[in-house]
Amino acid sequence: MPSLARLQRIVQDASAAASLDEILRILSTQVKEVMALDVCSIYLMDADSQELVLMCTQGLDPASVGRIRMPLGDGLVGLVGAREQLLNIEDAPSHPNFHYFPEAHEDEYHAFLGAPIVHYRQLVGVLVGQQRDARRFDGEDEAFMVTIAAHLAGILSHAINSGKVSNLLQSHTSSHTFVNGAIGSTGVGIGKIVVPGGSLSFRQVDELCALDKASELVSFEHAVTGVRNELEAGRAQMEETPGDVKAIFDAYRLILDGADLQNAVRSRIEGGLVAPAALKQAIEELASIFEAMEDPYFRARGEDIRNIGLRLLRFLIEPETVVTNYSEPCILVGEVVSVSDIANIPQERLAGIVCQQGSALSHTAILASALGVPAVMGVGELPLRLLKGQQAIIDGYQGRVHFRPSKALLAEFRRLQRQEQEFDRSLDKLRDLPAETIDGRRLSLLVNTGLLSDITPGLQKGAEGVGLYRTEIPFMVHETFPTEEEQYQVYRKVLGAFHPRPVTMRTLDIGGDKPLPYFPVSEANPYLGWRGIRFTLDHPEIFLGQLRAMLRASVGMDNLRILLPMVSSVGEVDSFLQLLDKAIGSLREDGLEVLKPQVGVMIEVPSTMYLLDFLAWRLDFVSIGTNDLTQYLLAVDRNNEQVASLFSRLHPSVIRALNQVMIQAREHGLEVCLCGELAADPAAVLLLVGMGVDSLSMNAYSLPRVKHVIRSVERAQVEGLLMNALRMSDEREIRDMLNRFLEKSGLGGLIRSGRS
C-alpha cells in the first residue's frame, strides 16, 4: 500500500496547483505512478447534462478527453457514479455494464478500480485506475483509491464553486465559457476585457535581500508618492460624479498614509529586504488581521489594504504607466481593480468590473455601485493574458461573467440590459418616498456602516438613519487604543452627516473574529469567549472613554442611540447603565449638557430571547443580529466550508425565533430593528413585514429594492405568508413559497437579482 507520506505529497502538490487542469494532471500522473497503474483517468460531473465527462487521463488516447461522456448508470464509470460506491472488477470487458469507446482503446485493459468523488453529498466525478492484466485489486489499493478520491473532492470544491469546472467542461464543446463570483454591483455589462496595469501579483514577489537599503527606502517613498498622486487625480476625476464618491478615495488615502503600513514596510527594508518583499510581508500581515474576521464588512477592509498594496507594487516594479486607449466599452479585469483604475476610464466607456479577489463590501464594489457599473467579485484565478481584448458579458444579478459569448447570448443580454435599466430608473423615483405597504404599514429603512466613506451612498439611496454603525475600525487601524478625542472626531462626523436622522452606534465589539493587533487574546473558542460587552465591561477605562466620546459627539444633535453587542444576561445591561450614568455625570461636571441617549441590545445570543420580559423596562429598543443569531441557533460556522451549506437564513427555527422575539417585543412596547443580511433579502422581507418589524438596516445598495417590495404588498398578504411559513418544516419550501409570491406580484426581477 502507498505510504501516508506519498498520499500527503500528492494532496500537497495538488493543493498548490494554480489551475484545475494542473490539479487533474498532478493527481492522475502521481496516482498512476504510486499505484503502478497502466491507466489513471478522472471524470467530472457535468451538472447541466448529468453526464460524467473524461477530463484527464494518463494512459488512454488524449484525443478522447472531453469526448467520452457517460450518463449516470451507463458504463462502468456511470455505474460508479450512480451508486456512489467503489467498483473493483477483475475483467472489465466481460462486465455487462462495460461500454466500449473505440477512440479510447479501453478493451486493452482488464482490471478496473473506480472510486466516486463526492463533496458534501454531491457527486463531483469518478477516479478510475486500470491495468492490462486481469486481476482484482487488493484491499490496500481500494483503501488508497477511496482516500485519494475523498481528498480530490475537497481540492476541487473551490474550483466547483467558482464555476471553473463548468468552464473546463464547456471548453471542449464550445468557445463560450463562464465563471461565477460574488455580486459586487448589479446590472448587465458588455464590453472588451482590459487588464489594468498588467497582471502583477504578490505571488510573483520573491523575498530577496536588499543590496542597498537606502535605495530601497527611496523606491518605496517614490511609490507612496505615486499612489498618493493617483488617488488625488482619481478624486478630481470624480468631481462631477453624482454623490460624494470622493470619500472612497479619502478612505484609501487614510490606508496609504497610515503609520501602521508605512512603518511596517520601512522596518522590513531596514531589516534587509528589498522593497517589494517588505511590502508583501507588511500587506499580508495587516490584511490578514481583517480577513480572519467573520463579519464580511471587516473582511472587506482587508481587501482595501491589498488593493493599496498592489498599487504600490506596480510603482515599485513598473514605475512607467502604460496609457490605454479606451475607444469602446470595456470591462476591467484583474486580481483586484483599484479605485484609481476605475477613475482612469471615461465613465461612458466603463461597462463593468471583474475582480479575482474581493467581496461585495469592498470599496471597489461600493464605487461600482455608486457609478451604476456592474461588478462581480472573487471569481478566482483567470488567465488574464489570454483574456485581454476578448469580449465578455457581466451578469451582475447572478454574479456570473461570460467569456466569448455567442451572438444569441449577446442579443439576449442586450435585451436584459435595456429591461433592467428601465427597472432601475423606476426605483430612483422611490428615494424620497416612505417604505410603506399599500395599506399604510410603515417601516424605517436604515443603513449599516462603519466608515465615513460609506455615509454618502446611504443618504443617496434614501436611508432614514443608521441602524448599525460599527465602531471597531478606529480601534483596529491604530497601534494602540484610540484616545477619547480621536473617537470623538470620527463619531461627530457620522452623527453630523445623518443629523437629524438617528444613528445607532454599536459599542466596541472586539474578540472572536475581530482581534486587536496590539491587544491579543488567546482562547480555545473565541466565538464563545471574551468578546463584545464582556470585554468592555471588564475594561471600564476603555469603555468609559468610548461612551464619553459618543456622548460628546451627540451634543447639539441628540440623534445618538447606543447598541450593546453580545449581551447574554440582565446583569450586563445593569452594569452598562451604571457606566453610562457615570460617563454622563463626568461630562456634566465638565460643563457639557449631554442628554441620555436611547439604549438597546443586540439579540444575537439565543439566551437574550428569553430575557426580554426582564430587559424591557431597562431598554428603548432591541436590534436583531440575524447573522450571529442564526449561527448560534443552528450551531453552524458559516465560514467553515464543511458545514456552511447548513447555514440557512430562512431555516424554520430561525423564522420561529424571530417571530417569538417580535411577539414579546410587542407585549412590552419595545421597538425592533433587524440589521443582519436577512434585511436585504427581498423574499425574507415579506416575512419580516408580516411579523411587524419596525425597521430594517442593510447595505445602502439594497435599500431601493427592499423599499420596492414593501410598497408593493399589503399587510394582510404578508401576514398570510408568515402563517404559512410557520407551518413549514423546510427552508426550501419556505423560499419557494416566497419566490412564487414575488413572481405573482410582478416582483420576479428581484429573484433574478440574486438577493432572494
Catalytic residues: 363, 675
Query: Are 250 and 490 contacting, i.e. CB atoms less than 8 angstroms apart?
Result: no
Distance (Å, whole) CA 417 – CA 436: 29
The residues near 240 (Cβ < 8 Å, ≥ 6 apart) are none
Cell of 454: 460609506
- HSE, CB side, 13 Å, CA atoms: give it for residue 378: 18
Helix (H, G, I), strand (E, B) or coil at 695: strand
Query: Are 730 and 696 contacting, i.e. CB atoms less than 8 angstroms apart?
Result: no
The residue with cell 477483475 is 90
Distance (Å, whole) CA 149 – CA 117: 5
Instruction: Centre a 10 Å sphere on the Cβ of residue 495 and count the other Cβ atoms it contains.
Output: 25
The residues near 468 (Cβ < 8 Å, ≥ 6 apart) are 446, 448, 449, 504, 506, 563, 623, 675, 697
Give how far Cα 380 sits from Cα of 183, 313, 437, Å.
14, 20, 41
Cell of 273: 529586504
Sheet holding 111-119, edge to edge: 69-71, 51-58, 39-46, 122-131, 111-119, 87-89
Distance (Å, whole) CA 665 – CA 693: 10
Distance (Å, whole) CA 309 – CA 255: 10
Backbone angles phi, psi at 561, to 5 degrees: -130, 140
Type of residue found at 390:
Q
Distance (Å, whole) CA 88 – CA 35: 14
The DSSP symbol for 751 reads H
Candidates 652, 742, 743; CA nearest to 706 is 742
Distance (Å, whole) CA 38 – CA 90: 14
Across the strands, what pairs with 696? Answer: 445, 674
Distance (Å, whole) CA 145 – CA 161: 24
Q: What angle do CA 720, 722, 726 make, to 5 degrees?
A: 120
Distance (Å, whole) CA 452 – CA 363: 12
The DSSP symbol for 73 reads T
| CA 478 from centre of chain | 25
